[in-house]
Amino acid sequence: LATAVEPGTPIIDLLWNNHGYEEIRRQMVAAEIPPIGTDLFTPDFQAVARGYGLAAHRAGDPAHLGALLREAGHSDLATLIEIDAPSWPGGA
């Protein structure tokens, strides 16, 4: 995030937040291995991004994501758009 802000690069960072290592968890469950170490504490990415000086948003659904991407595409700021996977249509 700092790397985007320091030179003033107006990039868009998309964050698929599944609150852990969901793909590894699924593979462990499929292999009948108890999933250990896959559910993680995740920080408030919105607050972290804003702390670095980025614009920060959370997309509620695909239409909202599209609107946020269009808005960020016209911004002079680096932007973080977080997708909260468990609440996203279709789940994690």
pLDDT tens per residue across span 11-42: 999 999 888 888 898 899 999 999 988 888 88
Say if residue 59's pLDDT is above 90: yes
pTM (2 d.p.): 0.81
DSSP states of 64-87: HHHHHHHHHHT-SS-EEEEEEGGG
Which amino acid type is present at position 62?
A: P
Distance CA 81, CA 65 (A): 8
